[in-house]
Amino acid sequence: MPKDETWFTEVCEEAGSVVGWKVEKQLAHVETEFQTIDVYRTAHWGNLMVIDGFVMLTTRDNFLYHEMLTHPAMFSHPCPKTVAIIGGGDCGTLQQVLTHPEVESAVQCEIDEQVTRLAEQHFPELCERNDDPRATLVFDDGLAWIRNAEAGSLDVIIVDSTDPIGPAEGLFGPGFVADCFTALADGGILVQQSESPLLHQHLISGIRQNMEKAGFETIRTLGFPQPSYPSGWWSCTKARKHGILAPPDLDRFDASGIVTRYYNPEVHRGALATQMP
């Protein structure tokens, strides 16, 4: 928090910019062995979760990120039965995954249990499916979990990580991506949050190179709005193990009965068509 305690501000050095939220109350401050987590109630954005000084999510706009990280990958797979989420402790991605009726097993592996416990308290709408019998919450190192996963056992892996610093740094390395390739079945999909297309082109290029070196044949980066993140524009990068990524399917989306606030096949198609800077 700055000296004016009625505002939380995040400084983005690489963009030379600052983003702020008017705060009504600090709801939580927890220091874990991995990081420092703060939760605030804001005047206009609902609750705000901050990890090590960086905004993770707000009540108001998290649906943009969670829907775009999840549904383009899930609808690119013909029948995603087994899904792993690495990170994602706020449970918003898990909630979106479990809207897909084909899913038989969804494992969320989050290194810091306190992220999930705070989400349950302050973002309960994201945790409504945590008790779904198909869901398994694991609190462990995602790098090790993927490394130890049975080869060919997963249909979709979603890497819902924080920025590539601290405990999440290894999730952006080539070894982890290679382990994901091994854990995926043929035709499996890997998707990774890949930061801002305006500010982090080098990082996105590195993610794509790691995927290519691991053996993924089709790699696409999708851009989408995310007002609470630096630059207001975010991305995810997805890849398929053997074969091409399926295009958005309007009939399949309509038949699924899944209700979304932002994602639909037209948005999916537009995100694929957007030229990255």
The one-letter amino acid code at 223 reads G
Helix, coil or strand: residue 141 = coil
C-alpha separations of 167 from 42, 110, 175 in Å = 27, 10, 15
Gap between the Cα atoms of 86 and 242, Å rounded: 22
- Catalytic site residue 61? no
Alpha-carbon torsion angle 253, 224, 234, 194, nearest 10:
40
Among residues 18, 21, 24, the alpha carbon closest in space to that of 8 is found at: 21
Question: Residue 25: phi, psi to the nearest 5?
Answer: -165, 145
CA distance 31 to 144: 23
Angle at 228 between CA 265 and CA 46, to 5 degrees: 100
In order of 87, 178, 188, 240, the CA distances from 243 in angstroms are 27, 17, 9, 7
* R_g (Cα) of the chain, nearest Å: 18
157 and 192 in contact (C-beta within 8 Å)? no
From 38, 61, 155, 160, active-site residue: 160
Catalytic residue ranges? 160
